[in-house]
């Protein structure tokens, strides 16, 4: 029976509500709760601030990655731009050489000049597919409206039957590399 009495006493103790804190300790508990609530608010604010900084850092990293990928792809695409400019000068000299040969001199009477001329022409013909494969295309704006983004005006002149701002003379054709102007066309424009 003794065990039952001990069990009953324990059950009574568990069921009986514990007396609340004495009245003199109540303000201290309220101060502690207020302090804990204040700490929670501060920590929540710091957490939100750090989360915002973290998200911004991720966005900055992604933007940087995108910019670098774009720069890398442009470098691959336009890396040959300097070489193209140099090669255009060679192509211009080659074209000028074929233009200056008098057509009446190219005959069977002068086989050396004829073979030299044919070699120059064939070289020029071979150069065009190479330019096209690399994305280099010529710009010949004759009889088109002057475009300052693709043409460079050398002079203006009065021309009957032509609207003002029309390209009437092309001194040197221009070139674009994948829609980027490598060399503007040198032109004369009507007034």
Q: What is the pLDDT of residues 103-130, one digit of tens each?
A: 888 877 888 888 889 999 999 999 989 9
137: which residues sit within 8 A by CB, 6+ positions away? 131, 175, 176
The span from the CA of 73 to the CA of 68, in Å, is 9
Average pLDDT, the chain: 86
DSSP letters, 41-83, are HHHHHHHHHHHHHHHHHHHHHHHHHHHHHHHHHHHHHHTTHHH
Put simply, whether the predicted model's pTM sits higher than 0.85 gets the answer no
Give the pLDDT score at 1: 46
pLDDT, position 8:
57
CA pair distance 85, 100, nearest whole angstrom: 23
- Segments of the chain with pLDDT less than 50: 1-2, 14
């Amino acid at each position: 029976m003794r065990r039952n009495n001990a069990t009953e006493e324990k059950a009574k103790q568990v069921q009986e509500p514990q007396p609340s804190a004495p009245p003199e300790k109540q303000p201290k508990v309220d101060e502690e709760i207020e302090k804990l609530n204040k700490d929670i608010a501060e920590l929540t604010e710091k957490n939100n601030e750090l989360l915002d900084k973290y998200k911004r850092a991720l966005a900055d990293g992604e933007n940087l990655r995108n910019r670098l990928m774009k720069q890398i792809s442009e470098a691959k695409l336009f890396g040959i731009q300097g070489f193209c400019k140099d090669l255009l000068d060679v192509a211009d000299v080659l074209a000028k050489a074929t233009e200056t040969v008098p057509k009446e001199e190219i005959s069977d009477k002068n086989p050396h000049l004829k073979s030299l001329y044919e070699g120059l022409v064939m070289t020029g013909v071979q150069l065009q597919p190479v330019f096209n494969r690399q994305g280099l295309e010529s710009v010949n704006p004759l009889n088109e409206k002057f475009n300052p983004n693709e043409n460079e005006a050398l002079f203006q002149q009065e021309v009957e039957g032509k609207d003002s701002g029309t390209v009437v003379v092309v001194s040197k054709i221009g070139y674009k590399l994948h829609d980027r102007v490598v060399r503007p066309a040198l032109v004369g424009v009507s007034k």
